[in-house]
């Protein structure tokens, strides 16, 4: 994807809402995002109920 961040690589180590949200915005601007999760279940947000 082309964008102002097309030559940027981001390593995301965050959980829940703030970190993943910020890296999603960076990805939408063209950054390549690599998400690293815990091998014991991944991001805890997946286990929450739907917020809507």
Assess if residue 24 is contained within a domain: yes
Assess if residue 34 is contained within a domain: yes
Assess if residue 4 is contained within a domain: yes
Assess if residue 16 is contained within a domain: yes
Given the structure tokens 């929450």, which residue do they identify? 48
pLDDT, tens only, 4-42: 999 999 999 988 888 889 999 999 999 999 999 888 888
Assess if residue 14 is contained within a domain: yes
What's the domain count of the chain? 1
Among residues 27, 20, 21, 24, the alpha carbon closest in space to that of 42 is found at 20
Assess if residue 50 is contained within a domain: no
Residues spanned by the domain of 16? 1-39
pTM: 0.76
d(CA 38, CA 15): 10
Torsion-angle region of 41 (φ positive above 0: left; ψ -120 to 50: alpha; else: beta): left
């Amino acid at each position: 994807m082309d964008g102002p961040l097309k030559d940027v690589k981001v390593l995301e180590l965050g959980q829940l809402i703030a970190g993943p949200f910020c890296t999603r915005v960076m990805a939408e601007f063209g950054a390549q995002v690599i998400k690293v999760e815990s091998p014991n279940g991944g991001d805890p947000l997946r286990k929450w109920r739907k917020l809507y």
